[in-house]
Amino acid sequence: MDHVGPGFLVSLAYLDPGNLETDLQAGANHKFELLWVILIGLVFALIIQSLAANLGVTTGKHLAEHCKAEYPKFVKYCLWLLAEVAVIAADIPEVIGTAFALNILFHIPVWGGVLITGLSTLMLLGLQRYGVRKLELLIAVLVFIMAGCYFGELSYVKPPTSQVIRGLFIPKLKGQGATGDAIALLGALIMPHNLFLHSALVLSRKTTPSVKGINSACKYFLLESGFALFVALLINIAVVSVSGTNVLGGSSRIVYGIALLASGQSSTITGTYAGQYVMQGFLDLRMKTWLRNLMTRCIAIVPSLIVSIIGGSAGSGRLIVIASIIIISWILGLCIIGINIYYLSTGFVDWLIHNSLPVVGNVFVGIIVFPIMAIYIISVIYLMFRKDRTVTFVDMSVESNQIEMEKGAEERTIDHVPYREDLADIPLPQ
């Protein structure tokens, strides 16, 4: 039980308002046909999250600290800025989602709800003064409220089991807007800041400083993350299943508002700590939790407030989806680098050929854009093929391996303890 916590706290990111919004949109437009996207997304999330947890357990450092040690100063600051942008982009759906919930429950204008979200989160973080367990209990209560709302409504909807199973295991992209909804679903499930968070959370747990102890901890964190993400999968399926229904009449709106409020508040807390670890790891800079949350939330409020005032509820809803797409474009950049370059270059060249600008204007635009594209390509190639500066594994020679096997390798100790006293102040039980 000493290791319980990291997987469940990380899973909150997969239940944020961005996920709920994209789930509802996909369910309303395509019923159960896009459930396979959620399943694939969470399977890959489990793989990546387990790697992040293993990184922290085996090396005693979290991801941001490894990036700081690995890359030169300029690259380090660029990665830090990208990580901060990812945290802020993940916070935008939480701001808008909480504002929507306040609008549904109390008829507060969306722009007013956006302003209130900063104060509400600070109040929740203030509960740390009354003990770690109380904050964890509150997060658990919020998650159970959210799950209870959707599972309760699901019991009235009673979706066809055969259609749900087909949607989970038979990929389809039929109908207008299916591709865009699938991208939004996948983007909402990929949380870059979760990698920094998970690799740091495991360091708050004391692990036996031996190969056997580390292997056991890695296996346990994998099982815990798998169970937590399975629960997240069930909740996402429930959200898709109840979209477009009104089985509870006017109460459906209230139930959705309560679930949305619980989702926004619980996921905001974990996002705040992810930002703390990013700042501490890259810059070796510590900041009060309430101040860190206030800074992140103020930055996230600006685009949310502008869109809610100008575009109203419809514009705010679109902003949630846009923020999800921004996240996926960052985290999957290396995987689709070839496709990005191809479409970016061909699309830009096609625009240059067919636009109505004069020749001088085209030349000026080309002089600006083509160097930026070249810098982008060179930067990615540099990050992929540069020589490693730090060792992120336990380095043992063949001779020492043979000797240790004779003595019983499972019991040999290592030269570091994967437990961090400086991370013990996070709101998790020791």
Residue with tokens 């690259």: 75
Residue with tokens 């509150």: 138
Q: Which domain holds residue 20?
A: 6-332+415-423
Chain-centroid distance of CA 258 in Å reads 22
Position 425 scores a pLDDT of 46
CA pair distance 63, 61, nearest whole angstrom? 7
Chain-centroid distance of CA 22 in Å reads 14
Token digits for 289? 């939790």
Strands (E), 137-223: none
Residue 125 falls inside a structural domain: yes
Question: What does DSSP assign to residue 238?
Answer: H
Token digits for 111? 């722009």
Residue 407 falls inside a structural domain: no
Position 296 scores a pLDDT of 65
Chain-centroid distance of CA 262 in Å reads 17
Token digits for 10? 């990380």
Mean pLDDT per 10-residue section of the chain, whose length is 430 residues: 74 84 86 92 92 91 89 83 80 81 86 77 64 64 80 81 91 84 82 87 82 89 90 89 67 80 80 82 75 67 69 60 55 54 68 78 81 78 68 46 43 49 45
Residue 428 falls inside a structural domain: no
Residue 337 falls inside a structural domain: no
Residue 392 falls inside a structural domain: no
Residue 419 falls inside a structural domain: yes
Residue 341 falls inside a structural domain: no
* Cβ within 8 Å of residue 322, ≥6 positions away: none
Q: How far, in Å, are 94, 305, 317 from residue 13 at the CA level?
A: 10, 22, 18
Cβ neighbour number for residue 33 with a 10 Å cutoff = 23
Token digits for 334? 């290396």
- Count up the domains in the chain and report the number: 1
Residue 397 falls inside a structural domain: no
CATH number of the domain within which 250 lies: 1.20.1740.10
Position 55 scores a pLDDT of 92
**3-class secondary structure, 413:** strand
pTM above 0.75, yes or no: no
Nearest 5°: CA angle at 412, between 409 and 416? 135
